[in-house]
């Protein structure tokens, strides 16, 4: 039986929600709070979302969307254009490559995996910004941002896991 228009719209909407929510997290991340230097050290919520969705539902986070999310984050945050697009794609690529490792593992393993991947993402981001600015950028902000990313990941992952379970139950 062919699905109705409403059923197709429901499926399309559900499948596009991870990308749309990740784009919303880009906006949340760049909302100006008028606190000097805060934008350089806040946890990168879209990075966590890209990682989380790629671990559990990579089909719902395609590479073109990951590139676009990174590009939007660069444009809206004032980062050099392309840095986060490359970093997010690198995270996506590593997680897809290690998909078999993450399959069926406990949250602690996924969190540890995020710690390793986020460390690599922080180093890559720092290197790219240093290269593009033609000078060595102070690494303390990148280190602190990494620690915040690692610390905030369980909360963000918990929200996404609950949402993912709700999506799976309704499919």
Q: Which pLDDT does position 168 carry in this prediction?
A: 58
State how far the Cα of 18 lies from the Cα of 53, in Å rounded to an integer. Answer: 7
Domain ranges of the chain: 16-29+43-170
Q: 99 to each of 17, 52, 102, how far by Cα in Å?
A: 21, 12, 5
State how far the Cα of 114 lies from the Cα of 119, in Å rounded to an integer. Answer: 8
State how far the Cα of 44 lies from the Cα of 122, in Å rounded to an integer. Answer: 10
Identify which has the larger pLDDT, 147 or 39: 147
The structure's pTM equals 0.89
pLDDT in tens, 53-76: 999 889 999 999 999 999 999 999
């Amino acid at each position: 039986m062919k699905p109705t228009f409403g059923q197709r719209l429901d499926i399309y909407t559900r499948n596009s929600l991870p990308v749309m929510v990740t784009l919303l997290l880009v906006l949340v991340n760049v909302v100006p709070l008028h606190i000097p230097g805060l934008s350089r050290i806040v946890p990168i919520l879209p990075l966590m979302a890209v990682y989380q969705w790629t671990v559990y539902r990579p089909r719902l986070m395609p590479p073109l969307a990951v590139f676009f999310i990174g590009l939007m984050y660069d444009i809206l945050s004032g980062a050099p254009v392309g840095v986060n697009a490359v970093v997010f794609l690198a995270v996506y690529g590593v997680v897809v490559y290690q998909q078999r490792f993450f399959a069926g593992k406990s949250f602690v393993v996924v969190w540890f995996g995020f710690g390793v991947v986020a460390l690599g993402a922080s180093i890559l981001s720092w290197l790219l910004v240093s290269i593009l600015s033609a000078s060595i950028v102070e690494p303390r902000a990148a280190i602190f941002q990494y620690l915040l990313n690692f610390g905030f990941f369980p909360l963000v992952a918990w929200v996404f896991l609950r949402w993912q379970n709700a999506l799976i139950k309704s499919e």
